[in-house]
Structure 1
């Protein structure tokens, strides 16, 4: 396996560190929510919410009284994004739980893999001073 300089530095740091579970949690927390959406974003629930938002947007543009409709639109948008966030947080917790069930060597491998897949090496290395 060919490692970049950042990956090698991350590997050295993790080998000398006793806070692997904390670093693993930090790594999983750093993964952007959009990576957890997957095909769930195309479910009927999210499709209906997007259709509702689009319908309200059309009504706002065509209405003489857009203030009330904008309030409705704001509520529907907030609900949509909160639902996405809740789904991502649930999947994030499941990923973390699965990673925590592994032994420490496997956790180090998973941190390296997650950092590589989601380009988190630089961000994780900023925590060198915190997790000594």
Structure 2
């Protein structure tokens, strides 16, 4: 059995979540703090996003080999498309996570948010919401 001790900041976060009403706005704010990389997988490893990665790597290799400025310009265009697709994926998954959390009862919401906050070391950022979400 693993015994985890909570830090002072973790305890503060637990108290903050326990004393606040689990509103849609609070949940959305906490989810917005999560880094984008949390939402990439598994889609980034297959399908269109993987194809973008392969194309980008091929273009870079070809541009370096041929020293062609036009290929670098194509790389920029393709990179912007790739970033746009990643952003769409992140926004969709943030929305789905928020919706999923809001479907839970308040205790389960607190538990899920606390776990996400702890895993992503967001204690200080979440505690900065104290003034915005008063008791």
TM-score using structure 1 length: 0.87
Q: How many angstroms apart in 2 are the aligned matches of 1:105 and 1:54?
A: 46
In the TM superposition, residue 70 of structure 1 has moved relative to its aligned partner by: 1.8
d(CA) in 2 for partners of 1:100 and 1:43? 29
What residue in structure 2 maps to residue 27 of structure 1? 30
In structure 1, the partner of 2:111 is 109
Q: CA RMSD in A?
A: 1.8
Asked whether the equivalents of residues 22 and 110 of structure 2 are also in contact (C-alpha less than 8 Å), the reply is no
Equivalent in the alignment of 1:52? 55
Match for residue 88 of structure 2? 86
Determine the C-alpha separation between the residues in 1 that align with 2:61 and 2:17.
53
Structure 2 residues not aligned, in runs of 5+ = none
1:100 and 2:102 are equivalent in the alignment: yes
Q: Which runs of 5+ in 1 are unaligned?
A: none
Is the counterpart of residue 71 in structure 1 residue 77 in structure 2? no
Q: TM-score, normalised by structure 2?
A: 0.86
For the structure 1 residues 17 and 11, does the alpha-carbon distance in structure 2 shift closer, same or farther, using more than 3 Å as the test?
A: same
